[in-house]
Amino acid sequence: MAPSPIAEAQVLDALRSVMDPDLHKDIVSLGFIRNMTIEEGVVSFDVNLTTPACPVKERLREQSRRAVMAVPGVTDARVNMTAEVRRPQTPSTSALQNVRNIVAVGSGKGGVGKSTIAANIAASLAKSGARVGLLDADIYGPSIPIMMRSARPAEPRPDNTIEPGEAHGVKVMSMGYFTPGDQPLIWRGPMAHKALQQGLLSVNWGELDYLIVDLPPGTGDVHLTLVQTVPVTGGVIVSTPQDVGLQISMKTLRMLQQTKVPILGIVENMSFYVCPHCGGRDDLFGHGGAEEAAKSLDVPFLGAVPLDPAIRRASDDGTPVVIAEPESSAGKAMAEVAGALARQVSIRAFRHLSLSIVEE
Amino acid sequence: MPALHPDQTTPVELRKKGGERFTVRWADGHESAFGARTLRGRCPCAQCVSETTGQRLVFEEHVSPDVAILAARTVGHYAVHFDWSDGHTTGIYSFDYLRRICPCDLCTGRAA
């Protein structure tokens, strides 16, 4: 009876017993095994190491050979040691080399108006003549495409880059352009990470004075990716006056501080309500909490934005209130916030020289 | 661990001297000079320090004496990342961490 043919899976299973001592993983999981051929009882394959200077090369060769020889039916194992120095997975940030300032807008919890503030800051800076980009990094709940209705949405190019959309003088990129309106994105962290990297690095942003990044709520994957991928000029925290909202927002602030992202300031949203009928003012959620927090934390307070039906009208209409109703109390407040932010960015740019590693 | 002053953890100059040394000059004027092997042996990544127990798994003596820094680059504003000649690339050394592991006599308490 002829011996039954040896299956590649059997050989791979046997090779799983061989561990790389540096990487603490077996050489099959590490993807080191290449070009396997099995001819009758003779098994040949490459073991592709991460460096040709591997000090344990011979040991790995011998262990691999022995493991394969132990598979029933194998008469000879030919192990060819190769190496390829892997490039680190760090993307090049050259796509952003013409972006002068990257400003992250975050909050600890959802629903505080982060995207509304980000859209208005972007539109207001553009209105003042700056070249502005807006990246919606809230990939799970992108709202920027609604608030910044664009005649020309972002679209992919054949060269694997993305041409940003344009709305109200702002270059806009959002995952919302690529997913149907009511379809959820069901992604795990690594996909979110990839999507943000693409949004940052594969978009043809061109020359920008400010790239505003609208972060998702909280302190997760996307935030870490952002601070690790690009040098962020600074972060803006949006909070409601309510203590709860504020305490949670502080988590985002602390995270930015821990990763050495300068805090450009705090914005208090839904700060107060002016009754359109009697003109009386009502502090629905309390008032001034964010300003006090800014003071005690010694970070700039960028302004208070009222609850104003004009904001909702304008946002649902696809035009930020600073453009749609610049004379409304909310429109004025948003313009003030954008101005205060631009001022802080300038102060930072002056104070902070970019850090690079000198090679000798 | 006592909190460090921001000036103690803000680098003003980072230098990679060949593959053997990496130096940091800090905003408070202090200078930290790391040998490649020492630095590789204090890699803070999850392969070198157990994520569950916090125990170090890879020590300096496990690292080849002639390990070299192939490349060094900054990570955002807060850390440095190294590619090592032994193929290891997963460590992100925050500036806080680098200052805390400064090997000089003053910082290690060897200078009395």
Higher pLDDT, A123 or A107: A123
pLDDT band at residue A94, thresholds of 50, 70 and 90?
low
Is the per-residue pLDDT at A154 higher than 90? Answer: no
* Distance from chain centroid for Cα A60: 39
> Do the chains contact at A259 and B86, CB–CB below 8 Å?
no
Report the distance separating Cα A198 and Cα A186, nearest Å.
18
Query: Which of A22, A29, A103 would you mutate first to test chain B, the one with the most B CBs within 10 A?
Result: A22
pLDDT of the residue at A93 = 55
> Do the chains contact at A88 and B74, CB–CB below 8 Å?
no
pLDDT of the residue at B99 = 95
DSSP B5: P
The B residues from 10 to 39 touching A (CB cutoff 8 Å) are 10-11, 13-18
Q: Which residue of A has its CA nearest to B65?
A: A55
Query: Which secondary-structure segment (H or E) carries B33?
Result: strand B31-35
Higher pLDDT, A175 or A306: A306
Average pLDDT, chain A: 82
> Do the chains contact at A358 and B83, CB–CB below 8 Å?
no
DSSP B60: G
A183: Cβ contacts below 8 Å, ≥ 6 apart: none
pLDDT band at residue A91, thresholds of 50, 70 and 90?
very low
Q: Does domain A8-83 have CATH number 3.40.190.10?
A: no
CA distance B53 to chain A (A): 17
pLDDT in tens, A300-359: 999 999 888 888 888 888 899 999 999 988 999 999 999 888 888 877 765 555 567 888
Report the distance separating Cα A239 and Cα A241, nearest Å.
6
Residue recorded with tokens 């790239």: A211
Report the distance separating Cα A81 and Cα A61, nearest Å.
7
pTM of the model: 0.63
pLDDT in tens, B39-81: 999 999 988 998 888 899 999 999 999 999 999 988 877 889 9
pLDDT of the residue at A184 = 66
> Do the chains contact at B78 and A258, CB–CB below 8 Å?
yes
Report the distance separating Cα A78 and Cα A64, nearest Å.
9
Which of A231, A262, A358 lies at the smallest CB-CB distance from B14?
A358
Assigned fold of A94-351: Rossmann fold (3.40.50)
Size of interface A-B (CB pairs under 8 A): 76
Report the distance separating Cα A135 and Cα A137, nearest Å.
6
Instruction: Please name each of the domains of chain B with its CATH number.
Output: 6-106 (3.30.2020.30)
Report the distance separating Cα A91 and Cα A345, nearest Å.
25
**Residue A51 CA: distances (Å) to CA of A82, B79, B80:** 9, 25, 22
What ipTM describes this predicted complex? 0.82
Is the per-residue pLDDT at A123 higher than 90? Answer: yes
Which residues of A fall within a CB distance of 8 Å from B89?
A: 86, 88
Q: Which residue of B has its CA nearest to A232?
A: B76
> Do the chains contact at A261 and B78, CB–CB below 8 Å?
yes
Which residues of A fall within a CB distance of 8 Å from B77?
A: 227, 231-232, 259-262, 355
Q: Can you read off the two tokens belonging to residue A360?
A: 């000798």
On whether any CB of chain A is under 8 Å from the CB of B66, the answer is no
Domain parsing of chain A, residue ranges? 8-83, 94-351
Is the per-residue pLDDT at A7 higher than 90? Answer: no
pLDDT band at residue A89, thresholds of 50, 70 and 90?
very low
3-state SS, A210-248, equals: EEEEECCCCCCHHHHHHHHHCCCCEEEEEECCCHHHHHH
pLDDT of the residue at B109 = 83
The average pLDDT across B20-32 equals 94
